[in-house]
Amino acid sequence: MNRDDFPILKRDINNRRLIYFDNAATTQKPQTVINALSFYYTQCNSNIHRGVHGLSQEATVLFEETRSHVRSFINATANHEIIFTRGTTESINLIASSLGKKFVNEGDEILITEMEHHSNIVPWQIVCEEKKAQLQVLPFNEKGELRIELLDHFLTEKTKIVAVTHTSNTLGTINDIKTIIQKAHKKNIPVFIDGAQAMSHELIDVQALDCDFFAFSGHKMFAPMGVGVLYGKEKWLNALPPYQGGGEMVKQVTFEKTTYNELPYKFEAGTPSVGDVVGLKAAIEYLENIGIEKIAACLQELNQYAFHKLSKIEDIEFYGTASRKTSIISFNINKIHPFDVGTILDQYGIAVRTGHHCTQPIMKKFKIPGTVRASFAFYNTFEEIDIFVEAVKKAKSMLS
């Protein structure tokens, strides 16, 4: 795990070496990913699937090799269960729109949780508004753990889908999604997993989980922005109508009737971001070369060290203390506004996220405007955490 692989970490911010603790928002890119993007655009930039010329064929091979690699990475059954999107948000909108059109009717229910990112709330609200369905919300407790004991009450004959985050981007909670999936499946209810925060932290096996849908974004796992993945079980993808119309997703078009392409292309309308897809493969290979288990162990050590150091600061309050957590720490100090803390940290070259983190219902539950969120990647160090903690102390003394 070589920091030198990440060129941006050599940058100075405000005349101080960058300390990047905003990895839950987006991760930095290793040189291998940057090289993959450069190779695509300098050597084989072309549209895919439609051309007989050499560049198009080369680009198509690179694109489909990534699909195959993603299938292997998450242990999907077949390549055609892997749909490329622009990111987790588009993947959620795809499923919400397509499933809503065909399977949701007036009086039906969609179950989400109280800790969801806005991207896993708003699309389902739109479906409910359009179909006159009801959005149900499974709460979490004071530690930031879902109240699984209430799940059986929320799963009814009206529930058409459960949509839940694997890992909270604000609380850091790693949810017991396997139990949620098992309970939902006992009532023949499909489950969608928002895996955006999980992919760079632990191995995902969609067959072992038995989830019906799983989505993630490249940019949160060291790949470029603009590419994401939607996994769906073949039976569900075949049952759902297309999300968007246009090129690639059609088999034959006449003014009288259009027939749709086979999987996965039925859900990939238009020209994809081929270069970003190529970069995704490079990022996955980079993670595999290090080892996800090794990364997970490193992140746990960093998180525990940071939590221990921060805990010694008087008047600090943490949000999200679940027994199973990823490398995310959300906190406030002495009722100081998180924006003010973040602004001072920036003067020390430290990048953290401040605000509601696109989880306003969580902030409402805790009755706060937002939090300071530090989120770690394997390229972070104990030394950086020490500098960060001292900067937090200085921010507190300046703002109290």
**Cβ pair 133, 182 in contact under 8 A:** no
Instruction: State the CB neighbour count (10 A cutoff) for residue 383.
Output: 9
Separation of alpha carbons 75 and 72, rounded Å: 5
Burial class of 246 by CB neighbour count within 10 A (0 to 12, 13 to 18, 19+): exposed
280 close to 274: Cβ distance less than 8 angstroms: no
Known active-site residue 298: no
* Inter-CA distances, 65 with 15, 264, 315, 318, Å: 42, 14, 52, 43
CA distance 93 to 243: 9
Nearest 5°: CA angle at 360, between 115 and 217? Answer: 60
Spatial separation of the C-alpha atoms in residues 4 and 7, rounded to whole Å: 7
Q: Which of 44, 211, 298, 358 is catalytic?
A: 358
Positions marked catalytic: 358
